[in-house]
Amino acid sequence: MKLSSPVFYPNRPIRTLLRLVLCGLILTGCTPISPPTPAPLEPTPPGAVEPTPPRPEEPAPPGADDTIEILIEPFRFIEQNNPSRAIDPGLLIQGDAASSGDETYTFAQRPRYLPGELVDYVAQPGDTVPALAARFNTTSDEIMRNNPIIPADATTMPPGFPMKIPIHYRNPWGSAYQILPDALFGYGPYDVGFNPRAEVDRKPGWFKYYSAYVSQRSRRGGEIVQSIADDYSISPKLLLAILEYLTGALSEPRQPAEQKLTGVFGFPGVNSQSLNAQYNRLADYLNAAFYEYREGRMLTYELRDGQYYWADPWQNAASIALMQYFSRVLEPDAFFRAIGPDGFRRTYETLWGEIPPDAVTIEGSLTQPELRLPFEDNQSWAYTGGPHAAWGSSQPYAALDFAPPSSKTGCTPSDLWVVAPADGTVVRTATGLVILDLDGDGSERTGWNLLFLHLLTTSIPPIGTVVKTGDYLGHPSCDGGRSTGTHVHIARKYNGEWVSAGGILPFTLDGWHAEYGIGPYVGYLKRHSAIVIANSSADVSSLIHRGPAYVPTQTPTPKPRSTR
């Protein structure tokens, strides 16, 4: 049975969602909780894939334990220059109060459901049954039992698909107001034709005059944003809108004398203070929050005064990612303004126009196209890296690593070839990097795309090259990003979103399915009963063969002879 058989309602609103509302009440006798003293964060070097092999120490993905310093000057702009964000008394809905200083913000609370009570839910793009089970504090089996039309092998739910989900109440739930649809988070179809530098130049703000020396040349502000968007596959509109919300850089003709872009997004570390470094840290953090929630993790957030919330189960990943970020860098009063209808969303729509009400990039029953292993027939390569970061150091764990056989260690380029796992077109190249578009439209923004990293730069084909399955893409090396050993790093994207290598839609090559391990770089490939275990040392257990299985000729065991 196919999921497309029911009648779906992609434009139907989720009636049960209640909007975030803010009110300015004086709350006497209320003292905010003092924020805990955060442990200092080690700076994360920006914009590069973690080295392999050998496998580095497991990074801690940004999440509930990650704390970002608040930098006063950038955020003071929000208070002084946004009178339009005053609270609308007409939006007041009585509910549980969240207090901060002299102000009390009240947002609607859902009923205290009975354990296992069935509630209505309308599927959103990218939803999966396991993730929904985690968000509603139930089990996949319970969801399947109450929605028998869903097939057992379902991947993504069709957007608009009505469901009944048993819920187990958690307290307190956070805001149900959706700031941004998921379709506007990734660098996908809604960004086709968008040129960050040209758009910045068209705005009246002072950011058009900003430049910095990045990657051995001077780059304008819009070019820095373009590079970050390409690397992390995050919408440049979103990256620019965050900068505008915090600083007014795209709308204010003159930069205030006291305002600096140093440490502008609130990430600490002496090596992370430039705009480029801050954007790398921001993109890494947002990706972690988005994909963790999308897969049913990172379900809580904590404000700077200690207030603690469970993510509303009806929320979407992009909104939760923004809530996670703003909860770290803004004081509570500014946080509640930012996540409401007159906060960040208003800034986004002022810059880029009204958000489309039916924006969808991940349809129902998503399946991966047929892919082969990325090396030639009758060769055995080592599976040196299980699911790990596609770019940067955090989620999603969308990439796999393979290393060619070699008698040398370190970064000696191999004479062997990385080959195309499917027909496609080379649509972007950079140092050590190839993006292969699989749907024939020549755009990295749409459809299935494969990223290859650490190819020998001089061996990769030019942009526009059309390849067939098995054609050469380049020699494995250490070019691009950081690497301590020759290998190829490969990851999938669909409509601008990374696709995790494990889980409900596993990375599959010649029938080998990737499975998660206990952390990044570990795990295994499985085909039928055969298992290949990821190992950065490239030992025999990590070898995977492309072609007919090698079966040694059986040698008859000699019978014991009598000595008489």
Based on the domain organization, do 245 and 385 belong to the same domain? no
Identify whether residues 352 and 408 lie together within a single domain.
no
pLDDT at 331 over 70: yes
Which DSSP category does 333 fall into?
H
Rounded-to-10 torsion of CA 305, 309, 312, 316: 60
Structural tokens at position 117 = 């009570």
pLDDT at 67 over 80: no
* 213 compared with 233, residue with greater pLDDT: 233
What is the model's pLDDT at position 214? 82
To the nearest whole number, what is the mean pLDDT of the chain? 82
pTM of the model: 0.81
Tokens at residue 190, please?
Answer: 């809604």
The candidate with the shortest Cα–Cα distance to 331, out of 538, 130, 562, 79, is: 79
The more confident residue out of 32 and 504 is 504
Is residue 371, in this structure, part of any structural domain at all?
Answer: no
Average pLDDT over residues 103-115: 74
Alpha-carbon distance 274 to 272, whole Å?
6
pLDDT of residue 244 exceeding 60, the answer is: yes
Same domain, residue pair 190 and 115: yes
Angle at 292 between CA 371 and CA 37, to 5 degrees: 145
What is the spatial distance between Cα 459 and Cα 462, in angstroms, rounded to a whole number? Answer: 9
* Nearest-10 Cα torsion for 507, 135, 165, 8: -60
Query: Which of 51-55, 220-224, 406-410, 514-518 comes out lowest in average pLDDT?
Result: 51-55
* 39 domain residue, yes or no: no
Name residues whose C-beta falls within 8 Å of residue 341's C-beta, 6 or more positions apart in sequence.
Answer: 19, 20, 91, 177
d(CA 384, CA 374): 14
pLDDT at res. 175:
94
Lowest mean pLDDT among 61-70, 99-108, 383-392: 61-70
Instruction: For residue 235, give the amino acid letter.
Output: S
Residues 324 and 180 in one domain: yes
Same domain? 345 vs 398: no
pLDDT in tens, 157-177: 999 999 999 999 888 899 999
Residues 356 and 409 in one domain: no
417, pLDDT greater than 60: yes
The single-letter DSSP state of residue 555 is: P
Backbone angles phi, psi at 83, to 5 degrees: -60, -20
230 three-class SS: helix
38 pLDDT above the threshold of 70 = no
Identify the pLDDT of residue 310. Answer: 95
- Which domain-ending residue is among 361, 394, 428? 361
- Cβ-contact 90, 342 below 8 angstroms: no
Residue 496 has pLDDT above 50, yes or no: yes
Q: Is residue 501 part of a domain?
A: yes
Is 387 found in the same domain as 315? no
Element (H, E) at 337: helix 332-338
pLDDT score of 442 more than 70: yes
Domain boundary among 334, 361, 388: 361
pLDDT at position 200 over 90: yes
User: What pLDDT, on a 0 to 100 scale, did the predictor assign at position 148?
Assistant: 95
Indicate if 478 and 514 belong to the same structural domain: yes
Q: Number of H helices and number of E strands within the chain?
A: 10, 23
pLDDT digits (tens, 9 = 90+) for 345-376: 999 999 999 999 888 899 999 999 999 999 99
**Better-scored residue on pLDDT, 407 or 86:** 407
CATH code, domain carrying 517: 2.70.70.10
pLDDT digits (tens, 9 = 90+) for 272-284: 888 999 999 999 9
Give start and end residues of each alpha helix (H) in 186-303: 196-202, 221-232, 236-247, 275-294
- Residue 43, domain member (yes or no): no
In a domain, 133, yes or no: yes
Q: Is residue 484 part of a domain?
A: yes
Domain assignment of residue 45, yes or no: no
What's the domain count of the chain?
Answer: 2
Percent of the chain having pLDDT more than 90? 66
Q: What is the DSSP letter of 280?
A: H
More confident residue, 545 or 238: 238
Q: Report strand pairing: 397-403 vs 379-389.
A: antiparallel
Answer whether 476's CB lies under 8 Å from 413's CB.
yes
Which one has a higher pLDDT value, 287 or 482?
287
Tell me what pLDDT residue 312 has.
96
Please check whether residues 182 and 299 belong to one and the same domain: yes
How confident is the model over 530-541, as pLDDT tens digits? Answer: 999 999 888 888
Same domain, 119 and 194: yes
CA distances 213 to 218, 242, 253, 359, Å, are: 4, 22, 23, 36
Does the residue 373 lie in any domain? no
> Do residue 173 and residue 319 come from a single domain?
yes
Quote the domain boundaries for residue 182: 1-31+62-361
Q: Are residues 418 and 270 in the same domain?
A: no
